[in-house]
Structure 1
């Protein structure tokens, strides 16, 4: 049996094409929801036409939005690796097989630990990304290193990522693929996009800022708001605000510091967000997945971070901010001209199809080995 262990918005977006591909091939699979982003992923499943989870690890329908809450949730379920292994095997991962984890979140780490405790082989999708700074981003870099050293099969979204894994001398099998599955998520949404009449007046820049390492640090968050304001002095900004972002804007007194040219929007579902993104002149974000999407859409992107594990767009369309006003000026100078919607190049191959082929071959080999 193939099990998807998914807990965050980004993981669901990037695994959705693979889930839909397996459904298209009539390959059965189970979907385990860690509950980390319970509210967001519930809405996202509906927007992407995905099935409900076979089992959810949290009864609450609210997202985990604090580091303390995340730590309590993680430690609670980690205890099951010692005290509830029968439940792991019979309820969470019945039938054994392989478990797919994704990326670098606490859900990634928990999925690895639970699936290994249940005796499953673990497959790490989007493996090999590195910032090479142990505590930046934290805890993502540490989670990546731990999971990559313990996974049995690792899908690397680039040759650079594959080389990182080889250099790390990981014990699992490294499989380079032709890109990140987010490109197929983009295609999926753009192909199904319906005409919209609610787009803001053009031109505009789209902004997001939601990483806990940014918004929970007063000075770092204030600097990010200052960068958004600098851009808004040249062009209108549509600022999509997650609930934790809104809370910290109020807590630090930063909401009143946003310029009049910055329009705040509540969080959108993925198809709505991509519809807003593809019509923008550029994007300001601290999100790695959005940096990847901008890379595939050839969209100018100001990355509100000091370092990034993703190379997407760097040196061409993406600029690493590093709290520099000069970088903000460079970003505004390279904003897209005109209003032609961005799209994915037709030359870009499908990493999802490649992963599905190799995943099914691996799962089949595991079944044969278990039978011998």
Structure 2
């Protein structure tokens, strides 16, 4: 069978890489990679192919920067000819970015079955574009691969067929397990002149936090407040950087004491920075999961999370009032040793990709067997 796996934005690469490798262990699976180009610069894309040992993509759509609506339309127009040319049995999509939904929609409209990795996650906030992408992609999918029990519960409540839902674990953790030692060998902390567990790592990129002047000013207050406690490392996402320039706030951030501003980091570099931080402050979904596995305290600057297992079992805590002073209070407590103790969630064992490959292969073989049986005279 032939599978087209979709990558488009930074979070996708570490999820597709282990699944692609798992597909290659089956002689009966032909695996090809399609890169939409949603994240198109080297810092957000090329470095991930290199560090995660991904082959160069078989197709690049080169959609570039635009609104989500424009990107969706561009992907639909550019992906459909590839579907017609390749005639795949499955399109595999991961996560919740624009590329995920757009490629799932194109596949479904062309009669190609869709497998969604990281299905069933729900924040309950329909104002988030990622939430809309998740819901729509799941509705279009034929197989739903879930990272945590809440995902199963959500899909069943929404009326999805139980036989299409599979709790397989978390492929993001597969990459973390495989590359953790390599990241430690790289040791970017030393080059930055820092010691393990003596700094705070901050990332922010969600529209609700960085697309308005009020949100950015709140973020700058947060960074300055935390920097009074510990050195701060702040890899600045391109979206955040663009907003800082738009509202004339970049100079204020650049002159803050005890803050090191970094370019977007490669997968290995960022993994190492996460593992050795005293605390991570973020609005990212994937970082909530990675810090839970690494057992690093994580404060999520959001009102809700689609990954409740990181709260229930993991080291993650929500800061629902989006108040820098609330963050400061928790950082002080964590630095004093009063941190949340978590555990690693079920099936986050580095073997999720193997389960996905087997389920997809077995599903296809069962379909072929059923088809052959019906065709017998």
For Structure 1 versus Structure 2, the TM-score category normalised by the shorter chain is: 0.7 to 0.9
Change (3 A) 1:21 1:191: farther
Task: String of CA shifts for 1:115-159, please: whole Å, max 9, x gaps.
Answer: 112321100110010112221x2x111121111122111011111
Partner-residue secondary structure (3-state), 1:280: coil
For the pair 1:47 / 2:31, whether they are aligned, the reply is: no
Task: String of CA shifts for 1:211-243, please: whole Å, max 9, x gaps.
Answer: 233211221222122222221111110001122
Cα pair 2:105 2:140 within 8 Å, conserved: no
Residue matched to 1:352: 353
Shift of 1:210: 1.6
- Match runs of 1:5-16 below 5 Å: 5-16=6-17
Cα pair 1:149 1:171 within 8 Å, conserved: no
**Alpha-carbon separation, structure 1, partners of 2:69 and 2:122:** 23
Residue matched to 1:28: 30
Residue matched to 1:271: 268
Task: String of CA shifts for 1:42-91, please: whole Å, max 9, x gaps.
Answer: 22101211111111112x6xx52x5x3x432322333568xxx5x24433
Change (3 A) 1:242 1:133: closer
Residue matched to 1:326: 326
Change (3 A) 1:179 1:291: same
Cα pair 2:300 2:318 within 8 Å, conserved: yes
Gaps of 5+ in 2: 338-342
Q: TM-score, normalised by structure 2?
A: 0.86
Shift of 1:95: 3.4
Partner-residue secondary structure (3-state), 2:273: helix
Residue matched to 2:340: none
**Alpha-carbon separation, structure 1, partners of 2:155 and 2:61:** 31
**Alpha-carbon separation, structure 2, partners of 1:89 and 1:174:** 23
Residue matched to 1:206: 201
Cα pair 2:145 2:168 within 8 Å, conserved: no
Residue matched to 1:125: 117
- Match runs of 1:155-166 below 5 Å: 155-166=145-156
Q: TM-score, normalised by structure 1?
A: 0.87
Change (3 A) 1:120 1:345: closer
Shift of 1:254: 2.5
Residue matched to 1:340: none
Cα pair 1:282 1:336 within 8 Å, conserved: no
Shift of 1:162: 0.3
Cα pair 1:150 1:170 within 8 Å, conserved: no
Shift of 1:33: 1.2
Mean Cα deviation higher: 316-325 or 226-235:
316-325
Gaps of 5+ in 1: 338-342
Residue matched to 1:76: 74
Mean Cα deviation higher: 347-356 or 49-58:
347-356
**Alpha-carbon separation, structure 1, partners of 2:59 and 2:368:** 24
Partner-residue secondary structure (3-state), 1:334: helix
Task: String of CA shifts for 1:299-334, please: whole Å, max 9, x gaps.
Answer: 111112122211243255222122132343123312
**Alpha-carbon separation, structure 1, partners of 2:331 and 2:308:** 17
Cα pair 1:124 1:155 within 8 Å, conserved: yes
Mean Cα deviation higher: 96-105 or 212-221:
212-221
**Alpha-carbon separation, structure 2, partners of 1:336 and 1:184:** 32
Cα pair 1:199 1:276 within 8 Å, conserved: no
Among 113, 125, 140, the alignment partner of 2:130 is 140
Change (3 A) 1:115 1:233: same
Cα pair 2:156 2:162 within 8 Å, conserved: no
Q: Over the residues paired in the alignment, what is the CA RMSD in angstroms?
A: 2.5
Change (3 A) 1:365 1:347: closer
